[in-house]
Structure 1
Amino acid sequence: EFVHELAGALDGRDSVDCIFLDFSKAFDVVSHDLLIAKLHGYKIDKKVVYWISEYLSLRKQYVVLNGCQSEFADVTSGVPQGSVLGPLLFMLYLNDIVGVVSSPMRLFADDCVVYRKIRASDDVDILQADINAITDWCKLWEMNINFKKTVHIPFTRRRVPSLSTYTINDEPLTVAYEYKYLGVFLTSTLSWSKHIDYTVSKASRMLGFLARNFKPVPRSLKERLYFSHVRSILEYACTIWDPHTAVQIIKLEKVQNRAARFVLNNYDRRLSMTRAKQSLGWKELSFRRKNLRLKFFNNIFHCRTGIDRNAYLHPPDYISQRKDHVYKVKEFRCKSDVYMNSFFPKTIRDWNGLPASVVNIVPNDMFYSTLTS
């Protein structure tokens, strides 16, 4: 949804200023007393709040260094990491921060971004006021913003962007043109070249490690290692960045080609990679990415995600009785490649092109297995 908003803004020749906030030791500094007060504010059952209070209280910690143990110290802040409740309690603690800003804001655990379309100087002032409000909220709730890791990225298609200056406590924020957000590199032009290069490099390093250390193992184990440790890297969040250029598609597929050689233990240059992958039953990564997009879209269409389908999926102006299926969705009008090849516009075109026998399948597992076959 966030990338769709950015791509749509760029398609309309708008600029979007994004402030990616970094909270210092976010999970460790949550005040237990303030958290309990906030839970009461949410009108959560008093018995549940009392139980959570008991769960957090009387925790102690100590340090061992060179065999010497320190004295016990009381733990009065932080949510227990690695626990089931920890992330939920943190989200409840942070959730009301969205109420202090007027600009759009997105939260995922301790990753936070506030952003705004910049059409006039007033928009810059509003976004700066939101940053000030966030700073005040952090002081009130004893959270700390890591100034050095908080960055401003101007998303724009303009060759010479007009840069605005944003500050925290009168210190100007660093301007960056790329940022790794939730494991995906975003650039100011929404090009995916940086992320794809990073993905190929990371997957290649892992494949090299497997090839060096698991050469004599059975083929079935090699294949499982590839699926779990390499292909998972190649397909992480690929519904967002699925490339449309041949150069990037080939670059990603080359990693799978090398993986096929590793699994088959065949490094003969004359080996046909198409036949090698067919013998393994592997599909092209581009085919898999398309199907993964459609699988996710099917979940959105049938309201099985947190995404509001009515915000993105609308009835078409016309349905051809001969060519179209009854689940056809209105396609987006796009002026730029960035928007045209983003998730919703691209996947809606693919969805509308599916046969009726496929889109009529409601269970997602059956839908996906039909696509892949």
Structure 2
Amino acid sequence: MNLIVLLETPSPFHAYMRINSQFADDTTLIGLINDGDASAYRQEVKELTVWCSHNNLELNTLKTVEMTVDIRRNPPALPPLTIMDSTVMSVETFRFLGTTITQNLKWDNHIDLIVKRAQQRLYFLRQLRKFNLPKELLKQFYSAIIESVLCTSITVWFSSATKTDLRRLQRIVRTAERFIGTTLQDLYSSRVSKRASKIILDPSHPAHILFKLLPSGRRYRAQTTKTARHRKSFFPQAIYLMNS
């Protein structure tokens, strides 16, 4: 499946930024566009199409979708995207590497899926507990089968989830918490700290420069945030946790 994602949003960065991610037979093109000028983005799509043709690869336009993310109150309508004389379908939500992303950058749909999958697996944990399995085996089952579902891209969505959604997730964790001993906040904090530590130790990582030590050498410089959406995103939250 080929996914092309367009993000239209006010930004202090340069007029166009693109990220081309490839996983197996999936390709994702992410463009950041300011002032409604999508010419650079569309040129990038054209170049990607030409590159595929030159390398004997065929873009499946029937499975190619475009999603526009624009947080302004009255976003302008954009003309449809065309690839090889086929109009690309515009969608409001799609799944990217197991994570459901929506136009409004809210996580209700993704959490709905997580809750459904986790509840199904929780049944088996209850059955194993009835057989009086050792606590260590129950922990291993929980970590591999349930926690892995709860933690799917948790560093991205947890801090932006609504209280209602977090309560739904916490009910699942609380069921196992009596003999597992892990809270949802603990899961989130451990994943964020682990990811941040990897970035800090890797000078080649594009986000390495965001973790700047203060002159004391003990704490990292906090990012300036102007919106709640940015404050709740990964990097400000990671710096906060690393400084805690």
Flag whether TM exceeds 0.5 (same fold): yes
Correspondence 1:300 to 2:199: yes
CA distance in 1, matches of 2:210, 2:24: 25
Cα 1:281–1:210 shift into 2, 3 Å: closer
Q: What does residue 326 of structure 1 align with?
A: 217
- Deviation sequence 1:118-167 (CA, Å, 0-9, x none): 2245x312222221221122222121222122111111112332232211
Q: What does residue 116 of structure 1 align with?
A: 31
CA distance in 2, matches of 1:10, 1:254: 35
> Matched residue pairs, number?
235
Tell me, which stretches of 5 or more residues in structure 2 are unaligned?
Answer: 1-5
Kindly state the Cα deviation for residue 328 of structure 1 after the two structures are TM-superposed: 1.9
TM-score by length of 2: 0.82
Other structure's SS at 1:152 match: strand
Q: What does residue 349 of structure 1 align with?
A: 240
Equivalent position amino acid for 1:349 in 2: Y
- Deviation sequence 1:13-42 (CA, Å, 0-9, x none): 99x99xxxxxxxxxxxxxxxxxxxxxxxxx
Cα 1:346–1:180 shift into 2, 3 Å: same
Instruction: Please identify which structure carries the higher strand content.
Output: 2
Asked if the contact 2:18–2:31 (Cα under 8 Å) also holds between the matched residues in 1, the reply is yes
Q: Which structure's CA Rg is the greater one?
A: 1
Equivalent position amino acid for 1:138 in 2: C
**Greater Cα offset, 306-315 or 199-208:** 306-315
Cα 1:210–1:314 shift into 2, 3 Å: closer
CA distance in 2, matches of 1:291, 1:223: 17
Cα 1:194–1:350 shift into 2, 3 Å: same
CA distance in 1, matches of 2:167, 2:130: 26
Equivalent position amino acid for 2:158 in 1: D
Aligned equivalent of 1:237, options 153, 169, 173: 153
- Deviation sequence 1:257-283 (CA, Å, 0-9, x none): 2335xxxxxxxxxxxxxxxx3xx3512
Aligned equivalent of 1:249, options 155, 161, 166: 166
Q: What does residue 54 of structure 2 align with?
A: 140
> 1:66-105, aligned counterparts within 5 Å?
103-105=18-20
Kindly state the Cα deviation for residue 117 of structure 1 after the two structures are TM-superposed: 2.1
CA distance in 1, matches of 2:211, 2:138: 41
Other structure's SS at 1:153 match: strand
CA distance in 2, matches of 1:189, 1:13: 20
Equivalent position amino acid for 2:169 in 1: L
Tell me, which stretches of 5 or more residues in structure 1 are unaligned?
Answer: 1-5, 18-101, 261-276, 320-324, 355-373
Q: What does residue 224 of structure 1 align with?
A: 140
> 1:48-59, aligned counterparts within 5 Å?
none
Asked if the contact 1:243–1:249 (Cα under 8 Å) also holds between the matched residues in 2, the reply is no
Asked if the contact 2:107–2:157 (Cα under 8 Å) also holds between the matched residues in 1, the reply is yes
Q: What does residue 211 of structure 2 align with?
A: 313
- Deviation sequence 1:94-118 (CA, Å, 0-9, x none): xxxxxxxx84322333332212222
When the two chains are superposed, the root-mean-square deviation of aligned CA atoms in Å is 3.0
Asked if the contact 2:92–2:102 (Cα under 8 Å) also holds between the matched residues in 1, the reply is yes
CA distance in 1, matches of 2:35, 2:9: 16
CA distance in 1, matches of 2:189, 2:129: 31
CA distance in 2, matches of 1:247, 1:340: 20
Which structure has the higher relative contact order (CA within 8 Å, separation 6+)? 1
CA distance in 1, matches of 2:77, 2:123: 42
TM-score by length of 1: 0.56
- Deviation sequence 1:244-265 (CA, Å, 0-9, x none): 54323222111122335xxxxx
Asked if the contact 1:150–1:174 (Cα under 8 Å) also holds between the matched residues in 2, the reply is yes
Other structure's SS at 1:243 match: helix
Kindly state the Cα deviation for residue 234 of structure 1 after the two structures are TM-superposed: 0.5
Cα 1:11–1:203 shift into 2, 3 Å: farther
Q: Percent identity?
A: 23
Correspondence 1:175 to 2:90: yes
CA distance in 1, matches of 2:26, 2:150: 23
Q: What does residue 72 of structure 2 align with?
A: 158
Correspondence 1:200 to 2:115: yes
CA distance in 1, matches of 2:190, 2:134: 26
Q: What does residue 3 of structure 2 align with?
A: none
Equivalent position amino acid for 1:150 in 2: T
